[in-house]
Structure 1
Amino acid sequence: MSDLLARFELDEAVERIYRLGEAAEGAGNPREAALHFRVAADQHLGDAAVRLARALFALGEVAEAEHWCSVAVADGFPEAAELVQENASARQRFLEHAARITVGAPTFDWLPAGMPASRIEPSAIAARTRALRALDQQYGGVACHGSVLEHLALVEPMIVIGDEEMWTAVAEVHELAGWTAFDSGLPGTALPHFERALTLARQAENEALIASVLTRAGRMFLHHNAPDDAVKAFQLGLVAAHNSWADRRDLSEPERAIASLTTKVSTYGENRVRARTMTLTALARNHLAVGNTAAARAFAESALAGAVHLRSVRADDQLRWLADEARVAGASVLVEQISARFARSG
C-alpha cells in the first residue's frame, strides 16, 4: 500500500512540474521550461520529451534536443522527428529569405496580431530603442531582453499605419530583440526577429539596416559553430552595405556607384516605385557627377515619370539634391524638370 501511495505522490509531483513547464513555455521562457520538462521527460510523462526538445532547440542545445527527440519517438510521438528537420532547415530558410531581401524582392508576408490602440511616433519608438540598446551594451541581453519584447509588443502594430520611417523604427526593435535573444542564449528565438527586421527594412528600402541585421545574424551563426552559414550572411550583408554606399549623398566615386546602381535598378519591377525612383535618381546624380548631362537627364526623366503618384520624403530629398547639383553644373533643363514636380505637388 505504501508503495502505491509513494507512486501516486510521485506522479502527482511530476504532473505539477509538467504544468510549471507549460507555464514557462507559454511565457516565452524556454530555459525555465526545459528545467521542468526535463524532470517530466525523465518520467516519460505525456509529450514532455517533445516539449523539452523544442525548448532545447530554442536554446541552441542541439545535441541534447536531438536525444530527447529520439526518446519522444520511442514514447509514441513520431512528430518529434520533424523537430530535428525543422531545426536543421531554420538557418537555410533564414538565408533564403535574406537573399530575397538583398535583391529587393518584396517579402511582406505577416501582420501584427492586433491593430494599434493609438499612434506612437517613430521618434519616440527610436528613443526607447536607443535606451534599451544602451542597457544591452552595459548590462547584457539577459538584463533587458524582456523589456525589449514589451517594447516590441507595444510598437509592432504601428507598422499597419506606418510609412518608411515607422517601418525602420520597428525593424530596429526587431533587430534588438533578435540580438538580445542571442545574447540570452536563445538563438532559435533570435532568427524570427532578425527575419522580420529584414522584412521591414526592405519595406523601408533601408539598405544600411539590412546590412546591420545580416552582420548580427552572421555573428550569431559563428558563435553557434555554423561558419558556412555565417559566411553567407556576411556576404549578403556586404551586398546590402554596397547598395547603401551607392545610395549615399557622397559622390566621391561615381563610376563605381553607376555600375552598382545599374545592376540594382534592374531588380525592381513596376510595383517597386519608391525603390526604382530613388535608384534612378541616384543614377542621374552620379552621371551628372562625371559630366554626362544627357544620361543624367534621361534617368531623371524616368524617375519623374514613374513617381507621379509617389509621396516619399526620402525620394523627394534625392530629387532636390539632384536639382541642386544640376544647378551648379548649369544643367538648366534638368533643374526645370525637377522643379515642375514640386510645383505640381505644392
Structure 2
Amino acid sequence: MSELLDRFELDEAVERQYRLGEAAERAGRLREAAVHFRVAADQRLGDGAVRLARVLFVLGEEAEAVRWCEAAVADGFPEAEELIRENSQARQRFLEHAARIMVGAPTFDWVPSGVPSRRVSAEVIATRTRALRALDQRYGGIACHTAVLEHLAEVEPMIVVDGSTWTAVAEVCELAGWTAFDSGLPGTALPHFAHALTLARQAENESLIASVLTRAGRMFLHHNAPDDALKAFQLGFVAAHNAWADRCALDDPPQAIAALTTKIGTYGEGRARTLALTALARNHLALGDVAAATEFAENAVASARNLRSSRAEDQLRRLFGEARAAGAFVLAEQVSAGFARS
C-alpha cells in the first residue's frame, strides 16, 4: 500500500512538472520549460521527451535534443523523427530564402497578423530601434529582447499600409533576431532574420541585407555550423558589394558601370532590375555616352511599365533632369513618354 501511495505521489509530482513546463513554454521562458520537461522525460511521462526536444532545438542544444528525439521514437512517438528533420532543414530554408533575395525573386510570403493600432513614422520607429540597440550593446540581448519584441509587434503592421517604413521595420526584425540569438534562442532568431531580409529587399537596401546575413553567419558559427556560416557570409559579401556599387554610382561612373553590369544579370523582372538599368543609364550619361544611356533608359522604362514604386520613379525623374541638363533631349523625351504611358 505504501509503495502504491509513493508511486501515486511521484506520478502526481511528475505530472505537475509537465504542466509547469507547458506554462513556462507558453510564457516564453524556455530554459525554465526545459528543466520541467526534463523531469517528465526522465520519468517517461507521455510526450515529455518530444516536448523537451522541441524546446532544446529552439535553445540551440541540438545534440541533447536529438538524443531525446531518439528516446521518444523508442517510446512510440515517431513524430520526433520529423522534429529532427525540421530542425536540420531550418538553416537550409533560411539560406535558400537568402539566395532568392539576392537574385531579386519575389519573397514577400508573409503579412503581419494584425493591423496598425496607430500610424508610426519611419523616423519614430528608427529612433526607438536605436535606443533598444544601445541597450543590447550595453547590457546584452537578454536585457532587452522582450522590449524589442513588443516594439516589433507594434510597428510590423505598418509595412502593409506604408512602404516608407520597410527599412525601419526590417531593422527591428534584424534586432529581434540578434537579441534572440544573444538570449540563447537561435531557433526563434531565424524567422526574424528572414523577415528582415524580405523587407530589406522590398526597400532595395543592400547594406541592410549584408548586415542581416553577417549576423546570421555569426550565429551559425557560434552553433557549430561553419558550412552554413560560410554560405551566409558569401551572400552577405555579394550584398555588400552591391551596396558599394549603389553608393559609388555617379561618383565613379566606370567602376559603377562595371559593378552594375555584373549585378544586373542576377535580377529578374521587377524593381531591382529597373533601378539597375536606370543607374546604368545615368552613369553612361555622366560619361557622355548618350547612345548607351538612351538604350539603358529605354530598357528601364520598359521594365518599369507594370511597376508601382516611388523609388523607381524618383530615379527615372533624376535621369530625366540629368538628360535635359546635358542636352540629351531624345533621351529625356523617352523617359517622359514612359511616365506618360504609366
TM-score, length-normalised on structure 1?
A: 0.90
Post-superposition CA distance 1:183-236 (Å, at most 9, x none): 111111111111111112112222221111101101111111211111111110
Task: Give 1:235's aligned amino acid.
Answer: Q
Aligned partner of 2:235 in structure 1 is: 236
CA contact 2:250–2:283 (8 Å) conserved in 1: yes
Aligned partner of 1:318 in structure 2 is: 315
Aligned partner of 1:157 in structure 2 is: 157
The answer to whether residue 85 in structure 2 is matched with residue 88 in structure 1 is no
How far apart are the structure 2 equivalents of 1:85 and 1:340? 54
How far apart are the structure 1 equivalents of 2:65 and 2:268? 44
How far apart are the structure 2 equivalents of 1:251 and 1:293? 15
How far apart are the structure 1 equivalents of 2:105 and 2:7? 59
Between the two proteins, the alignment pairs up a number of residues equal to 342
Structure 1 range deviating more: 292-301 or 141-150: 292-301
How do 1:1-346 residues align onto structure 2 when only pairs under 5 Å count? 1-163=1-163, 165-248=164-247, 250-270=249-269, 272=270, 274-307=271-304, 310=307, 312-323=309-320, 325-326=322-323, 329-335=326-332, 337-338=334-335
How far apart are the structure 2 equivalents of 1:331 and 1:184? 57
How far apart are the structure 2 equivalents of 1:343 and 1:99? 36
TM-score, length-normalised on structure 2?
A: 0.91
CA contact 2:105–2:268 (8 Å) conserved in 1: no
Structure 1 range deviating more: 309-318 or 144-153: 309-318
Post-superposition CA distance 1:133-182 (Å, at most 9, x none): 1111111001001111111112222222231x222222111111110011
Task: Give 2:230's aligned amino acid.
Answer: V
Return the offset for 1:59: 1.0
How far apart are the structure 2 equivalents of 1:330 and 1:31? 68
Return the offset for 1:73: 1.1
How far apart are the structure 2 equivalents of 1:261 and 1:91? 30
How far apart are the structure 1 equivalents of 2:168 and 2:103? 22
Return the offset for 1:240: 1.2
CA contact 1:201–1:209 (8 Å) conserved in 2: yes
Q: 1:222 to 1:12 in 2, by over 3 A?
A: same
Alignment root-mean-square deviation, CA: 2.3
Task: Give 2:18's aligned amino acid.
Answer: Y
CA contact 1:106–1:202 (8 Å) conserved in 2: no
How far apart are the structure 2 equivalents of 1:84 and 1:308? 46
Structure 1 range deviating more: 5-14 or 132-141: 5-14
Return the offset for 1:117: 2.9
Task: Give 1:150's aligned amino acid.
Answer: E
How far apart are the structure 1 equivalents of 2:329 and 2:159? 40
Return the offset for 1:16: 1.4
Give the secondary-structure state (helix, strand or coil) at the position aligned to 1:251. coil
How far apart are the structure 1 equivalents of 2:5 and 2:109? 54
Unaligned runs of 5+ in 2: none
Task: Give 2:290's aligned amino acid.
Answer: T
How far apart are the structure 2 equivalents of 1:94 and 1:334? 42
How far apart are the structure 2 equivalents of 1:138 and 1:333? 57
